[in-house]
Amino acid sequence: MNLTGNTILITGGSRGIGRALAEALHDRGNQVIITGRDAAALEALCTQHPGMTGLPLDLRDHASLTQLANRVRIQFPSLNVLIANAGISRPENLASGQWNSHDAEAIIDTNILGVLRTVATFLPLLTQQRHATLMATSSALAFLPLASFPTYCASKAFLHSWLVSLRHQLRHLPVEVLELSPPYVQTALTGAAQASDPRAMPVEEYVQQVLQKLERGDHPRGELLLDRDQPRRWAERDGQYDALFALMNPA
Ligand SMILES: NC(=O)c1ccc[n+]([C@@H]2O[C@H](COP(=O)([O-])OP(=O)(O)OC[C@H]3O[C@@H](n4cnc5c(N)ncnc54)[C@H](OP(=O)(O)O)[C@@H]3O)[C@@H](O)[C@H]2O)c1
């Protein structure tokens, strides 16, 4: 992916990783459109970054996605990069005796169906461009689950598998399919504490590394994964799955 001169739509662009990507890509001379439910956050970011556009989107609401698509087709017909990044995460205690599927359904609706709906909505526009990129955010946890986040990890494993098939099906079209699999990053994904957790990677540092990898084309099989997460990615192949699972999920 060329890092300049694109028209880029980022879901979940109001905060966290999406916001940092939006700012970095805006600085590199791209037309960036950020979306999310928090209108005030979108507006504040666009004021800070003249030229950036904020458009409302609730991924769980079909009408909202249709409205967004109609507007983008008219206002930004040259859209050539989609970053389907929005997601939510919640811990679940399946053994509590009180577990119900409410959070799991919200995660599946946002992280899986939300991404599928977004891709279905914008793929026709992307395929009209000479070169396009479709990136979706999974997680390093797609390859090895953190058991206290069962549905979240499974949603990212779903995305990983789905993107492999999407990439294969689009192989004769000029649409590059990338999977962004972040490590633990300082955002408010699981609550305010994560944003300052010293064990998590600062978000700007993470995004800089991602842009460097994109610049070098360093994403084998379309996978944008930090080097330090390769052992998790290949744990099963390398016979390390049980050991790494035990490390991440002490008995
Ligand atoms: N941070 C990490 O450690 C980490 C690690 C691996 C993967 N990831 C993935 O990275 C992506 C971004 O997460 P983050 O860490 O940046 O979290 P974040 O700071 O909580 O940002 C999440 C973004 O998603 C948007 N969003 C959530 N639900 C939405 C909905 N129903 N409709 C539209 N937008 C919605 C939010 O905007 P509004 O609230 O304004 O709608 C926000 O912009 C997620 O897919 C996450 O799973 C994060």
In a domain, 230, yes or no: yes
In a domain, 91, yes or no: yes
Say how many Å lie between the CA of residue 239 and the centre of ligand 1. Answer: 32
If one counts every other C-beta atom within 10 angstroms of the C-beta of residue 146, the result is 17
User: What's the CATH number where 239 sits?
Assistant: 3.40.50.720
pLDDT of residue 189: 98
Domain count, the chain: 1
Q: Which of 35, 42, 103, 137 to mutate to test the pocket of ligand 1 (most atoms within 8 A of CB)?
A: 137
For the segment 224-243, what is each residue's pLDDT rounded down to a tens digit? 999 999 999 999 999 999 99
In a domain, 2, yes or no: no
Mean pLDDT within 87-100: 98
In a domain, 69, yes or no: yes
For the segment 188-224, what is each residue's pLDDT rounded down to a tens digit? 999 999 999 999 999 999 999 999 999 999 999 999 9
* DSSP result, 89-140: -----TTSS---SHHHHHHIIIIIIHHHHHHHHHHHHHTTSSSEEEEEE--G
In a domain, 35, yes or no: yes
Say how many Å lie between the CA of residue 172 and the centre of ligand 1. Answer: 31
Q: Residues with beta carbon inside 6 Å of ligand 1?
A: 11-12, 14-18, 36-38, 41, 57-60, 85-89, 110, 137, 139, 182, 184-185, 187-189
Say how many Å lie between the CA of residue 205 and the centre of ligand 1. Answer: 17
Q: Residue 187 is which amino acid?
A: T
For the segment 53-91, what is each residue's pLDDT rounded down to a tens digit? 999 999 999 999 999 999 999 999 999 999 999 999 999
| Dihedral, CA of residue 209, residue 212, residue 217 and residue 218, to nearest 10 | -40
Which domain range does residue 140 map to? 7-248
Mean pLDDT within 179-187: 98
Tell me the CA end-to-end span of the chain in Å, nearest whole number.
43
Mean of the per-residue pLDDT values for the chain? 98
Q: 3-state SS of 76-102? A: CCCCCEEEECCCCCCCCCCCCCCCCCH
Query: In which element (H, E) is residue 69 found?
Result: helix 62-75
pLDDT of residue 137: 98
If DSSP codes are grouped into helix, strand and coil, which group holds residue 64? helix
In a domain, 174, yes or no: yes
Mean pLDDT within 173-187: 98
In a domain, 1, yes or no: no
Q: Whose CA is nearest to atom 44 of ligand 1?
A: 87
Q: Whose CA is nearest to atom 47 of ligand 1?
A: 87
In a domain, 205, yes or no: yes
Give the pLDDT band of residue 51 (cuts 50, 70, 90): very high
pLDDT of residue 222: 98
